[in-house]
Amino acid sequence: MKTATEEKGAPRGAKAIRVALVEDDPGVRANLAAMLNDAPGFHCAAAYPDGPAALRGIPGLHPDVVLMDINLPGMLGPECVRHLKLKAPGVPVLMLTVYDDSEQIFKSLMAGATGYLLKRTPREKLLAAIREVNSGGAPMSRQIARRVVQFFQEIEQMPSTVRRAPEVASLTEKEGMVLAELAKGLAYKEIAEVLKISFETVRTHVRSIYEKLHVHSRTEAVLKYLGK
């Protein structure tokens, strides 16, 4: 029995964003694949029905973005993201799900997900979010963005004697500046504009930050920056 659908044929152009899907519902999976292949500048590179299949296929596939459902059979999305980040740390994961509760949001983000959108997100906004993730952004629905802001406000108000993680002191001055902007929620392009450096320089600094802080996602890096 096949565990994944490898999409045949070349992408629509050399610069098409290659997306891997992880979705257990066959109908939803087929619709998402068709949407991507019908949209100029996008290509569904593969579609997987569960976490184990995705973990076997995605590391060797090297997609630009992964779209992952959270309620997967056998291995929930957050756990799949956590394992995937160990195998393919550079691949951004965008969670796409019907759930919008804070617990599931932060399990996903803490596991290393880059963004989080609801399945009812309109087609054009979903495609725009994939482009944003591919450009270094962290898109979220408005409802979820409000919950994220509330979460960080709450942890800032909690009494704590914990200082910033000691690894933060190992960052260079420029890396510290990039991390501070990441903590504000800015996308890579916005950070480049604020700090007057190139987009690629931002990406280089972020890779170095993740390595020095021993993290795999923006959320983990920001929590270490906040001493949480």
Domain limits for position 15: 5-148
The residue type at 224 = K
Spatial CB neighbours of 140, under 8 Å, sequence gap ≥ 6 = 115, 116, 117, 148
Residues 63 and 9 in one domain: yes
Residues 140 and 166 in one domain: no
Torsion angle in degrees (nearest 10) through CA of 157, 159, 160, 163 = 40
Residues 46 and 118 in one domain: yes
Residues 121 and 192 in one domain: no
Residues 140 and 168 in one domain: no
How much is the pLDDT for 228? Answer: 60
Residues 30 and 86 in one domain: yes
Q: How much is the pTM? A: 0.66
Domain count, the chain: 2
pLDDT in tens, 86-122: 888 889 999 987 866 666 677 787 778 888 888 888 9
Q: Is 13 helix (H, G, I), strand (E, B) or coil?
A: coil
Q: Print burial letters for 140-165: b (CB count within 10 Å at least 16), e (below 16).
A: bbeebeebbeeebeeeeeeeeeeeeb
Above 90 in pLDDT, residue 157? no
Query: If pLDDT is split at 50, 70 and 90, which confidence band does 1 have?
Result: very low
Domain boundary among 92, 117, 148: 148
Number of H helices, E strands in the chain: 10, 6
Q: Does 208 reside within a domain?
A: yes
